[in-house]
Amino acid sequence: MKPSRNRNSGGDALPSAPELPAHGWSTDETLARLEALRRDDVRWKDGRVFSLAYFATPDAHDLATEAYRRFSGENALNVDAFPSLRVMQSDVLAIVARWLAAPASARGFFSSGGTESILMALKAARDQFRHDKTRPNVVLPASAHAAFEKAGAYFGIEMRRVPVRDDWRADALAMRAAADDQTVMFVASAPQYPQGVVDPVADIAALALERGVNCHVDACMGGVTLPYLERLGVSLPSWNFVVDGVTSISVDLHKFGYTAKGASVIMYRTGELRSHQAFVTDNWLGGFYGSSGVLGTKSGGPIAAAWAVLHHLGDDGYLRVTREARDTAMAIAAHVRAHPQLTLRAEPDATLVCIGAAPDTTLDIFAVADTLAARGWYVDRQQPPPSIHLTVNAVHADTYREFLCDLDAAVAEVAARAAKGEAGAYGTLE
């Protein structure tokens, strides 16, 4: 199936209206049309979507929605006007700092998402070294997120991608060879998205120390989950500020923080490092203008939702939902490992599972994804190599057994028909 599944197929009741109504619609009519529009959307709250959305509990979801609603019109562009948002942002940053084992010197900003957090870390590094590194580059593994490419394209920073090792983890030795005197940053992911493994952060941070440059850890996926996995006894390499040389870390709260979309944190080891992110000007007719990140106007909705969900789930809640997600991911991994026609690309370090066709088969894994879609399951498709990707979260604890039955059936069906599928896309251009 093509990734254009979200479009209203139109035709019957309540089609969308591509023009401003001459007479405004009533609340009821408008809401009815909104509900009609979402008819073809994936059903993520039912636990049938392994990508794009996260669901801890109905209570946490409802609370996030309510907090968002109450603060959606508030504007964190100026927290002098909204001291509530100043307090919420600083509380959220303090909580995240503990997860990251950040030192007392650490300072961060609340951002709109992983992409903004990453963009800002790279922009800060470029500006920090602008005097002696005028053709800046960043050395990063091939597995690092697409957002780094975006940052490079936006800010004129060369992205030096280095192939990963056979185990999909970053190759620190090869990264060392790719760096030069224009390198401003090395990147590690915890975990990387495609195969779900944690890079050797300490080895990569050591490269940064050696050159006196920055090391960013992309913990957009793992920033909330890894601290709890460690407490659950999962053995992981060091990945946060306990590692000397790590200068910044990105953590998405709208992923495994289970809050509403538009919530991430970019944390720096010191306020000095963070200072290169912020923007100020008075070179216009409107007076002094300062802003922390890409946004100008910054809705209070995501901030209030994040503050609410963090406090509502609490430490015990995050431990519980992390255990649920992890147990589910490991059960899926065990099933795939034992399946003669499937292969597990890597043992999951966290809660991401990457599945390919076993090397001695002709199975088309994207056709398996198509067949799963026909049965109401939405999985990510990625390459190279062609794979199905599952972002397993707490919601799947109740649905994964049914998923595995359908996975087996889909594999059998595709093998019998020798069906072919299409790759799809992680992000679209609309």
Task: List contacts with ligand PLP (CB under 6 A).
Answer: 113-115, 118, 145, 147, 189, 193, 218, 220-221, 252, 264
Sign of the four-CA dihedral 355, 392, 72, 77: negative
Q: Cβ 98 to ligand PLP, closest distance in Å?
A: 21
**Closer of 47 and 141 to ligand PLP (Cβ):** 141
**Closer of 190 and 355 to ligand PLP (Cβ):** 190
**Closer of 262 and 356 to ligand PLP (Cβ):** 262
Please list, in sequence order, all residues whose beta carbon lies within 8 angstroms of the beta carbon of residue 22, skipping any fewer than 6 positions away.
Answer: none
Give whole-number Cα distances, 159 to 107, 139, 150, 210, 411, in Å: 26, 6, 10, 20, 38
Q: At residue 237, what is the residue type? A: P
Yes or no: say if 117 and 128 are a contact pair by the CB < 8 Å rule.
Answer: no
Nearest Cα residue to 202 out of 162, 242, 166, 159: 242
Q: Cβ 164 to ligand PLP, closest distance in Å?
A: 14
Give CA–CA dist 297/306, Å, rounded: 18
**Closer of 51 and 291 to ligand PLP (Cβ):** 51
Q: Cβ 141 to ligand PLP, closest distance in Å?
A: 11
Q: Cβ 112 to ligand PLP, closest distance in Å?
A: 8
Q: Cβ 382 to ligand PLP, closest distance in Å?
A: 12
Q: Cβ 71 to ligand PLP, closest distance in Å?
A: 20
**Closer of 171 and 218 to ligand PLP (Cβ):** 218
E-strand spans in 148-255? 158-162, 183-189, 214-218, 248-252
Nearest Cα residue to 380 out of 229, 197, 249, 196: 196
**Closer of 350 and 414 to ligand PLP (Cβ):** 350
Nearest residue to ligand PLP by CB is 114
Is 236 exposed, middle or buried (CB count within 10 Å of its CB: 0-12, 13-18, 19+)? middle
Q: At residue 254, what is the residue type? A: H
Nearest Cα residue to 164 out of 155, 172, 154, 176: 172
Q: Cβ 54 to ligand PLP, closest distance in Å?
A: 11
Give CA–CA dist 164/54, Å, rounded: 28
Pairing of strands 183-189, 158-162: unpaired
**Closer of 115 and 393 to ligand PLP (Cβ):** 115
**Closer of 199 and 324 to ligand PLP (Cβ):** 199
Q: Cβ 52 to ligand PLP, closest distance in Å?
A: 9
**Closer of 198 and 205 to ligand PLP (Cβ):** 198
Give CA–CA dist 190/199, Å, rounded: 6
**Closer of 193 and 377 to ligand PLP (Cβ):** 193
Q: Left, alpha or beta for 96 (phi > 0: left; psi -120 to 50: alpha)?
A: alpha
Q: Cβ 154 to ligand PLP, closest distance in Å?
A: 13
Yes or no: say if 239 and 198 are a contact pair by the CB < 8 Å rule.
Answer: yes
Question: Which helix (H) or strand (E) element contains residue 303?
Answer: helix 300-338
Q: Cβ 64 to ligand PLP, closest distance in Å?
A: 16
